[in-house]
Amino acid sequence: MFLIRELKLQTNMQQTKIHLAKIAAIIILIMCVVAILSSLGFSFTSYSYDQTSECILKPPSAHHLLGTDELGRDLLTRIIYGSQLSISIGFLTAIIAFLVGTAYGSIAGFIGGRVDTLMMRGIDLFYALPDLLIMILIGIVIGRGTFGILLALGLVSWMGTARLVRAQFLYLKKEEFIEAARACGASSWRIIVKHLLPNAFAPIVVSLTFIVPSAILAESTLSFIGLGLSPPACSWGTLASEGWRALRTEPHLILWPSLAIFIVVLSFNFLGDTLADKLDPKNKLIN
Protein backbone atom coordinates (compact mmCIF):
# COMPACT_ATOMS: atom_id res chain seq x y z
CA MET A 1 0.00 0.00 0.00
CA PHE A 2 2.82 2.36 0.82
CA LEU A 3 4.49 1.75 -2.56
CA ILE A 4 1.19 2.32 -4.39
CA ARG A 5 0.65 5.62 -2.57
CA GLU A 6 4.23 6.65 -3.33
CA LEU A 7 3.78 5.86 -7.02
CA LYS A 8 0.50 7.79 -7.14
CA LEU A 9 2.13 10.75 -5.42
CA GLN A 10 5.03 10.73 -7.89
CA THR A 11 2.59 10.46 -10.81
CA ASN A 12 0.56 13.40 -9.53
CA MET A 13 3.70 15.47 -9.03
CA GLN A 14 4.87 14.71 -12.56
CA GLN A 15 1.49 15.64 -14.01
CA THR A 16 1.51 18.88 -12.01
CA LYS A 17 4.99 19.71 -13.29
CA ILE A 18 3.88 19.04 -16.86
CA HIS A 19 0.85 21.31 -16.47
CA LEU A 20 3.03 24.06 -14.97
CA ALA A 21 5.52 23.65 -17.80
CA LYS A 22 2.73 24.04 -20.37
CA ILE A 23 1.52 27.21 -18.66
CA ALA A 24 5.12 28.47 -18.48
CA ALA A 25 5.64 27.76 -22.20
CA ILE A 26 2.47 29.70 -23.05
CA ILE A 27 3.58 32.66 -20.90
CA ILE A 28 7.04 32.67 -22.51
CA LEU A 29 5.49 32.46 -25.98
CA ILE A 30 3.12 35.35 -25.26
CA MET A 31 5.95 37.52 -23.90
CA CYS A 32 8.14 36.74 -26.90
CA VAL A 33 5.33 37.54 -29.33
CA VAL A 34 4.61 40.82 -27.53
CA ALA A 35 8.30 41.75 -27.59
CA ILE A 36 8.63 40.92 -31.30
CA LEU A 37 5.47 42.76 -32.33
CA SER A 38 6.36 45.84 -30.30
CA SER A 39 9.83 45.89 -31.86
CA LEU A 40 8.17 45.83 -35.29
CA GLY A 41 6.15 48.93 -34.40
CA PHE A 42 2.89 47.33 -33.29
CA SER A 43 1.35 49.36 -30.45
CA PHE A 44 -0.56 47.58 -27.69
CA THR A 45 -1.52 50.86 -26.04
CA SER A 46 -2.41 54.37 -27.18
CA TYR A 47 0.83 55.81 -25.78
CA SER A 48 4.47 55.73 -26.85
CA TYR A 49 7.12 54.54 -24.41
CA ASP A 50 8.69 58.02 -24.05
CA GLN A 51 5.49 60.08 -24.22
CA THR A 52 5.24 62.40 -21.23
CA SER A 53 2.06 63.88 -19.81
CA GLU A 54 0.73 65.88 -16.89
CA CYS A 55 -0.50 62.69 -15.19
CA ILE A 56 2.58 62.31 -13.02
CA LEU A 57 2.93 59.37 -10.59
CA LYS A 58 -0.67 58.29 -11.03
CA PRO A 59 -1.74 54.89 -9.61
CA PRO A 60 -3.34 52.29 -11.90
CA SER A 61 -6.54 53.58 -13.51
CA ALA A 62 -8.77 53.08 -16.54
CA HIS A 63 -6.59 55.41 -18.63
CA HIS A 64 -3.26 54.02 -17.39
CA LEU A 65 -3.74 50.38 -16.43
CA LEU A 66 -0.44 50.16 -14.52
CA GLY A 67 -0.12 53.82 -13.63
CA THR A 68 2.43 56.41 -14.69
CA ASP A 69 5.98 57.30 -13.67
CA GLU A 70 7.59 60.55 -12.50
CA LEU A 71 7.45 62.00 -16.03
CA GLY A 72 3.87 60.97 -16.71
CA ARG A 73 4.85 58.09 -19.02
CA ASP A 74 2.49 55.12 -19.21
CA LEU A 75 4.06 52.27 -17.23
CA LEU A 76 2.37 49.46 -19.20
CA THR A 77 3.78 50.83 -22.45
CA ARG A 78 7.26 51.08 -20.95
CA ILE A 79 7.09 47.50 -19.61
CA ILE A 80 6.06 46.25 -23.05
CA TYR A 81 8.90 48.24 -24.61
CA GLY A 82 11.32 47.02 -21.94
CA SER A 83 10.45 43.40 -22.78
CA GLN A 84 12.23 43.86 -26.10
CA LEU A 85 15.59 44.44 -24.44
CA SER A 86 15.18 42.11 -21.45
CA ILE A 87 14.01 39.09 -23.43
CA SER A 88 16.36 39.70 -26.37
CA ILE A 89 19.33 40.02 -24.00
CA GLY A 90 18.33 36.74 -22.35
CA PHE A 91 18.08 34.84 -25.62
CA LEU A 92 21.17 36.42 -27.20
CA THR A 93 23.20 35.57 -24.10
CA ALA A 94 21.99 31.97 -24.36
CA ILE A 95 23.03 31.90 -28.04
CA ILE A 96 26.50 33.23 -27.16
CA ALA A 97 26.82 30.65 -24.37
CA PHE A 98 25.71 27.90 -26.75
CA LEU A 99 28.12 28.83 -29.55
CA VAL A 100 31.19 29.55 -27.41
CA GLY A 101 30.53 26.88 -24.78
CA THR A 102 29.73 24.15 -27.31
CA ALA A 103 32.81 24.89 -29.43
CA TYR A 104 35.11 25.09 -26.41
CA GLY A 105 33.69 22.01 -24.69
CA SER A 106 33.67 19.98 -27.93
CA ILE A 107 37.38 20.59 -28.53
CA ALA A 108 38.33 19.84 -24.93
CA GLY A 109 36.19 16.71 -24.66
CA PHE A 110 37.03 15.24 -28.06
CA ILE A 111 40.80 15.77 -27.96
CA GLY A 112 41.22 15.05 -24.24
CA GLY A 113 44.60 14.60 -22.60
CA ARG A 114 46.79 17.64 -21.97
CA VAL A 115 44.69 19.86 -24.23
CA ASP A 116 41.61 19.07 -22.15
CA THR A 117 43.48 19.71 -18.90
CA LEU A 118 44.86 23.04 -20.12
CA MET A 119 41.46 24.20 -21.40
CA MET A 120 39.72 23.25 -18.17
CA ARG A 121 42.28 25.20 -16.16
CA GLY A 122 41.39 28.19 -18.31
CA ILE A 123 37.75 27.78 -17.27
CA ASP A 124 38.85 27.52 -13.64
CA LEU A 125 40.55 30.91 -14.03
CA PHE A 126 37.31 32.42 -15.33
CA TYR A 127 35.39 30.88 -12.43
CA ALA A 128 37.89 32.37 -9.97
CA LEU A 129 36.85 35.88 -11.04
CA PRO A 130 33.55 37.18 -9.64
CA ASP A 131 30.91 37.47 -12.37
CA LEU A 132 29.76 40.87 -11.14
CA LEU A 133 33.32 42.21 -11.24
CA ILE A 134 33.76 41.08 -14.87
CA MET A 135 30.46 42.63 -15.91
CA ILE A 136 31.28 45.90 -14.14
CA LEU A 137 34.75 46.13 -15.75
CA ILE A 138 33.37 45.45 -19.24
CA GLY A 139 30.61 47.98 -18.66
CA ILE A 140 33.18 50.60 -17.69
CA VAL A 141 35.50 49.87 -20.63
CA ILE A 142 32.92 49.44 -23.42
CA GLY A 143 30.07 51.51 -22.07
CA ARG A 144 26.51 51.04 -20.87
CA GLY A 145 25.10 49.90 -24.20
CA THR A 146 23.37 46.75 -25.39
CA PHE A 147 26.61 45.43 -26.91
CA GLY A 148 28.52 45.92 -23.66
CA ILE A 149 25.81 44.17 -21.64
CA LEU A 150 25.71 41.24 -24.09
CA LEU A 151 29.49 40.90 -24.09
CA ALA A 152 29.62 40.98 -20.30
CA LEU A 153 26.85 38.42 -19.88
CA GLY A 154 28.23 36.22 -22.64
CA LEU A 155 31.68 36.11 -21.03
CA VAL A 156 30.28 34.88 -17.70
CA SER A 157 27.69 32.42 -19.04
CA TRP A 158 29.50 30.08 -21.43
CA MET A 159 31.66 28.16 -18.92
CA GLY A 160 28.85 25.98 -17.60
CA THR A 161 27.83 24.98 -21.12
CA ALA A 162 31.46 24.21 -22.01
CA ARG A 163 31.85 21.92 -19.00
CA LEU A 164 28.58 20.18 -19.77
CA VAL A 165 29.50 19.56 -23.42
CA ARG A 166 32.98 18.40 -22.45
CA ALA A 167 31.57 15.89 -19.94
CA GLN A 168 29.09 14.58 -22.53
CA PHE A 169 31.84 14.16 -25.11
CA LEU A 170 34.15 12.34 -22.70
CA TYR A 171 31.32 9.90 -21.95
CA LEU A 172 30.00 9.46 -25.49
CA LYS A 173 33.31 9.05 -27.32
CA LYS A 174 33.86 5.76 -25.47
CA GLU A 175 30.59 4.31 -26.77
CA GLU A 176 30.52 1.55 -29.37
CA PHE A 177 28.81 3.60 -32.07
CA ILE A 178 31.68 6.10 -31.99
CA GLU A 179 34.20 3.27 -32.33
CA ALA A 180 32.16 1.93 -35.24
CA ALA A 181 32.19 5.35 -36.91
CA ARG A 182 35.98 5.51 -36.54
CA ALA A 183 36.33 2.00 -37.95
CA CYS A 184 34.30 3.07 -40.99
CA GLY A 185 36.78 5.87 -41.65
CA ALA A 186 34.67 8.81 -40.46
CA SER A 187 36.62 12.02 -39.93
CA SER A 188 36.81 13.74 -36.56
CA TRP A 189 34.60 16.57 -37.83
CA ARG A 190 31.93 14.10 -39.00
CA ILE A 191 32.03 12.22 -35.69
CA ILE A 192 31.55 15.46 -33.75
CA VAL A 193 28.77 16.87 -35.95
CA LYS A 194 26.90 13.69 -36.87
CA HIS A 195 27.30 11.57 -33.74
CA LEU A 196 28.51 13.40 -30.64
CA LEU A 197 26.64 16.71 -30.79
CA PRO A 198 23.19 15.24 -31.56
CA ASN A 199 23.51 12.86 -28.59
CA ALA A 200 24.68 15.67 -26.29
CA PHE A 201 22.02 18.12 -27.47
CA ALA A 202 19.33 17.34 -24.86
CA PRO A 203 21.29 18.46 -21.75
CA ILE A 204 22.56 21.49 -23.68
CA VAL A 205 18.99 22.61 -24.43
CA VAL A 206 18.06 22.19 -20.77
CA SER A 207 21.04 24.29 -19.65
CA LEU A 208 20.07 27.05 -22.10
CA THR A 209 16.60 27.33 -20.53
CA PHE A 210 18.34 28.27 -17.28
CA ILE A 211 20.82 30.66 -18.92
CA VAL A 212 18.04 32.87 -20.34
CA PRO A 213 16.47 33.76 -16.95
CA SER A 214 19.92 34.06 -15.37
CA ALA A 215 20.87 36.61 -18.02
CA ILE A 216 17.65 38.56 -17.49
CA LEU A 217 18.29 38.64 -13.75
CA ALA A 218 21.93 39.64 -14.26
CA GLU A 219 20.96 42.49 -16.59
CA SER A 220 18.34 43.60 -14.08
CA THR A 221 20.94 43.54 -11.32
CA LEU A 222 23.35 45.68 -13.34
CA SER A 223 20.57 48.14 -14.17
CA PHE A 224 19.45 48.20 -10.56
CA ILE A 225 22.90 49.24 -9.32
CA GLY A 226 23.22 51.82 -12.09
CA LEU A 227 25.60 49.91 -14.40
CA GLY A 228 23.08 48.64 -16.92
CA LEU A 229 21.58 50.24 -19.99
CA SER A 230 21.80 54.01 -20.23
CA PRO A 231 18.74 56.17 -21.02
CA PRO A 232 16.71 56.47 -23.18
CA ALA A 233 16.93 52.67 -23.54
CA CYS A 234 14.91 50.89 -20.90
CA SER A 235 14.54 47.32 -19.73
CA TRP A 236 12.70 45.74 -16.84
CA GLY A 237 15.82 46.21 -14.76
CA THR A 238 16.06 49.94 -15.44
CA LEU A 239 12.34 50.35 -14.72
CA ALA A 240 12.77 48.57 -11.38
CA SER A 241 15.79 50.76 -10.61
CA GLU A 242 13.77 53.89 -11.31
CA GLY A 243 10.88 52.59 -9.19
CA TRP A 244 13.16 51.88 -6.24
CA ARG A 245 13.58 55.59 -5.59
CA ALA A 246 9.88 55.98 -4.88
CA LEU A 247 9.28 52.64 -3.18
CA ARG A 248 7.53 54.04 -0.11
CA THR A 249 5.33 56.60 -1.84
CA GLU A 250 4.68 54.97 -5.26
CA PRO A 251 5.18 51.18 -4.91
CA HIS A 252 3.54 50.45 -8.27
CA LEU A 253 6.63 51.80 -10.05
CA ILE A 254 8.78 48.90 -8.85
CA LEU A 255 5.98 46.34 -8.46
CA TRP A 256 5.08 45.82 -12.13
CA PRO A 257 8.57 45.53 -13.68
CA SER A 258 9.66 43.29 -10.79
CA LEU A 259 6.57 41.14 -11.36
CA ALA A 260 7.41 40.85 -15.06
CA ILE A 261 10.95 39.69 -14.20
CA PHE A 262 9.58 37.25 -11.61
CA ILE A 263 7.05 35.71 -14.02
CA VAL A 264 9.46 35.19 -16.92
CA VAL A 265 12.25 33.81 -14.69
CA LEU A 266 9.85 31.45 -12.93
CA SER A 267 8.39 30.32 -16.27
CA PHE A 268 11.81 29.47 -17.69
CA ASN A 269 12.72 27.60 -14.50
CA PHE A 270 9.53 25.53 -14.65
CA LEU A 271 10.13 24.79 -18.33
CA GLY A 272 13.77 23.86 -17.82
CA ASP A 273 13.00 21.65 -14.83
CA THR A 274 10.37 19.72 -16.78
CA LEU A 275 12.60 19.39 -19.84
CA ALA A 276 15.37 18.01 -17.63
CA ASP A 277 13.02 15.28 -16.41
CA LYS A 278 11.61 14.52 -19.85
CA LEU A 279 14.98 14.35 -21.61
CA ASP A 280 16.70 12.35 -18.87
CA PRO A 281 17.50 8.89 -20.29
CA LYS A 282 16.98 7.26 -16.88
CA ASN A 283 13.39 8.52 -16.75
CA LYS A 284 12.79 7.22 -20.26
CA LEU A 285 13.96 3.78 -19.21
CA ILE A 286 11.72 3.83 -16.13
CA ASN A 287 8.70 4.90 -18.15
Give me the pLDDT at residue 119, please. 92
In-domain check, residue 45: no
Percent pLDDT > 90 in the chain is: 12
Distance CA 106, CA 197 (A): 8
In-domain check, residue 194: yes
In-domain check, residue 197: yes
State the average pLDDT over residues 102-119: 90
Q: Residue 212's domain is classified under what CATH number?
A: 1.10.3720.10
The structure's pTM equals 0.83
Q: Are 275 and 122 in contact (CB under 8 A)?
A: no
Give me the pLDDT at residue 285, please. 41
| Full domain range(s) for residue 158 | 78-286
Give me the pLDDT at residue 9, please. 62
In-domain check, residue 4: no
In-domain check, residue 68: no
What residues contact residue 281 under an 8 Å CB cut-off, 6+ apart?
none
**pLDDT band, residue 8 (cuts 50/70/90):** low
What residues contact residue 221 under an 8 Å CB cut-off, 6+ apart?
132, 237
Give me the pLDDT at residue 104, please. 93
Considering only 46-60, 61-75, 106-120, 164-178, which range has the smallest mean pLDDT?
46-60
In-domain check, residue 180: yes
In-domain check, residue 59: no
In-domain check, residue 273: yes
Residues paired with residue 68 on neighbouring β-strands, in sequence order: 74
**pLDDT band, residue 11 (cuts 50/70/90):** low
* Tally of domains within the chain: 1
